[in-house]
Amino acid sequence: MNLLVKKKAINLIGIATKSRNIVSGEFSTEKAVKENKAALVIVAEDASDNTKKMFTNMCAFYKVPIYFFGDKNELGHAMGKEFRASLALLDKGLADAVEEQLKIVALDIIGGSKYGENESI
């Protein structure tokens, strides 16, 4: 079941890309969060600790949900690009659908929450 849920989340990221409701890359993701356009931020699990910390702090400040999901290649492949360490979904409806799947994945894999640990920020 976990593999199907993960694949569904990746497919939803692909749909968001096709509908141009997503931005990727550190600069574009940071800009979307600061302009209150981001509905959800996803950072690759294999991103650098500095990147993870920066986005965790920024998303906590701007009250944007953040998840650590997949690796750089998976996120990039879902978007039809080479690799991506971070992305932000701009559409609230798509973000809610992806977040629902990511909650299931997080609870199945590590028993975590939307902030990647057992407690919220």
Tell me the C-alpha distance between 109 and 40, whole Å. 20
Per-residue pLDDT band for 5 (boundaries 50, 70, 90) equals confident
Domains of the chain from N-terminus onward: 2-109 (3.30.1330.30)
CB–CB of 29/54 below 8 Å? no
pLDDT tens profile 64-107: 999 999 899 999 999 999 899 999 999 999 999 999 998 888 77
Torsion of Cα atoms, 86 then 102 then 12 then 95, to 10°: -70
Alpha helices, DSSP H only, in the chain?
2-18, 26-34, 49-62, 72-79, 92-109
CB–CB of 33/73 below 8 Å? no
Can you tell me the mean pLDDT for 49-76?
Answer: 94
